[in-house]
Amino acid sequence: MTDTTRTEPTGPVTRTTRDLTRAAVSGWLGTAMEFMDFQLYSLAAAIVFNKIFFPDVSPAIGLIAAMATYGVGYVARLAGAVYFGRMGDRIGRKKVLFLTILLMGASTTLIGALPTYGAIGILAPVLLVVLRLVQGFGAGAEIAGATVMLAEYAPVKRRGLVSSLVSLGTNSGTLAASGLWAILLAVLSEEQLLSWGWRLPFLLSFLLMIFAVWLRRNLKESPVFEERPDVVDGVAMSRTEVESALDSAALEEKRESVLEAGIRQRKGKAFFLALGLRFGQAGNSGLIQTFLVGYIATNLHADRAVPTDAIVYGSLLGFLTVPLVGLLGDRFGRRPMYLALTLLTMVLAFPMMLLITSGSTPALMLGMVLGLNVGVLGLFSLESVTMAELFGSRTRFTQLALSKEIGGILATAIGPVVAATLTAVTGSWWPIAAMLVGYSLITLVSAFLAPETRGRDLVRLEDAA
């Protein structure tokens, strides 16, 4: 028998400035940790993993194999998005964010303790893939949870700016990982790097995990989750419970109309729009932050430190780009900013690759810095708030996590492998530029079709489209 006698919601939930600050730092730190972990892995895959885990193949095949191990984590991320996303919509955001940070931190630390191919043979890459899968399972809901939490905490007129802290977290993590690798490449010899130096960044991530866990233990639940009309006693009513309450007229008229709008709406349109918005940023990120690092070192025969340094400089500039785009989104709306940034990325794609392949180190760095800030970080700043606003509060966590992770599988994970294959077959850089244009075009069309979401009431259960 369905229980419909649980305590009713008590009205608007308030949070202090201190609560908002704690949520902001928690969201920033969690996403910083996620992207530091993944950038550590992606740079290691591009620089050393092909030599210490896949040493018996040609450099080109080794790069493809290393990129493939990078990509398998995105399959686990999808499973994590489903599992933790549903949990977050059912029992709250806070509990899920605590679990995801533990999984990510533990698996990343253990990667630094793995034996290499030379020590245990084929078992080494197998264990690497296993830990990558565990890391991905935890990360599958981390950034979605942080995005939801920050958007639901933020004042409505500054939602874009506050939500951009998620993007700043990704930028901070990317910068930290790239900085660590830049230092290792600068001070260690090739032999030292391959024997023990590559382990240090992974092992050091343990300290960050401890701080993040402590912070999240003291975090209050999202005010939007607690104010949802389908949440009673801290747990969301199931669809059966909602329908039973509606059929028996057990709810007051106003709450009944809100619940009915959220439960009866057909899902799908908002999800596919969000998936399209995700595609450009995710695809561009996989190409610029992952594939190009290995391509420049392997195919262009540049010093390995050059692309890593370029990512560091681009990430530093991103600390201005990300909040600026968030502020502009609050001022002019999400759609106009999406249209402007995706068009600019498409226009810059071929000139950017001409700069990167020109043979000039300053030109190479300029091309990567421009691509990173316009096509990756700028779009990420918009994505952090727009995707949260597109979905209703009843399924926001699940739909946001799934759209992010499916977009990641289709673009970020597969993209570097496709790019590695196409550049090997053609012997040219033009497939990279063409892929950047294609990814951005998908986001451009999605932004054109999407509704403007700025200022939307996030307590509403139904999607914006």
**pLDDT tens, position by position, 113-139:** 888 877 787 787 788 888 888 888 888
Q: What is the mean pLDDT of residues 273-282?
A: 94
- Helical H segments across 333-429, by residue range: 334-356, 361-372, 378-390, 396-407, 414-426
4 has a pLDDT exceeding 50: no
Query: Please, which pLDDT band fits residue 249 given cuts at 50, 70 and 90?
Result: low
pLDDT tens figures, 140-153: 888 888 899 989 98
Q: State the number of CA atoms in the 13 A half-sphere of 30 facing the CB.
A: 35
Q: What is the mean pLDDT of the chain?
A: 83
Residues near 96 by Cβ (< 8 Å), separated by ≥ 6?
A: 84, 87, 88, 141, 145, 397
Query: Of 384 and 12, which is predicted with more confidence?
Result: 384
Residues near 363 by Cβ (< 8 Å), separated by ≥ 6?
A: 355, 356
Assigned domain for 460 exists: no
pLDDT score at 448: 96
Q: What is the spatial distance between Cα 409 and Cα 131, in angstroms, rounded to a whole number?
A: 18
Assigned domain for 458 exists: no
Assigned domain for 10 exists: no
3-state helix, strand, coil in the chain (%, to 5): 80, 0, 20
Assigned domain for 240 exists: no
Query: Please, which pLDDT band fits residue 342 given cuts at 50, 70 and 90?
Result: very high
Assigned domain for 417 exists: yes
Core vs surface per residue 210-237: b (16+ CB within 10 A) or e: eebeebbeebbbbbbbbbbbbbbeeebb
Backbone angles phi, psi at 428, to 5 degrees: -140, 165
Q: Give the three-state DSSP class for 356.
A: helix
CB-CB contact of 15 with 157 (8 Å): no
Q: Which CATH number does the domain housing residue 106 bear?
A: 1.20.1250.20
| Domain span holding position 363 | 17-223+264-449
CB-CB contact of 444 with 339 (8 Å): yes
Query: Please, which pLDDT band fits residue 85 given cuts at 50, 70 and 90?
Result: very high
Query: Of 45 and 104, which is predicted with more confidence?
Result: 104
Assigned domain for 322 exists: yes
- In 3D space, the residue among 108, 462, 76, 116 whose CA is nearest the CA of residue 263 turns out to be 462
Query: Please, which pLDDT band fits residue 101 given cuts at 50, 70 and 90?
Result: confident
1 has a pLDDT exceeding 50: no
pLDDT score at 2: 40
Assigned domain for 461 exists: no
Please report where in the chains the tokens 């932050």 appear, as a residue.
289
Query: Please, which pLDDT band fits residue 439 given cuts at 50, 70 and 90?
Result: very high
CB-CB contact of 425 with 113 (8 Å): no
By mean pLDDT, which of 120-129, 240-249, 319-328, 366-375 is the weakest?
A: 240-249
Q: What would the two tokens of residue 399 be?
A: 């739909």
Query: Of 346 and 18, which is predicted with more confidence?
Result: 346
pLDDT score at 61: 59
313 has a pLDDT exceeding 80: yes
Query: Please, which pLDDT band fits residue 262 given cuts at 50, 70 and 90?
Result: low
Q: How many domains, in total, are found in the chain? A: 1
Assigned domain for 256 exists: no
64 has a pLDDT exceeding 90: no
CB-CB contact of 77 with 140 (8 Å): yes
62 has a pLDDT exceeding 70: no
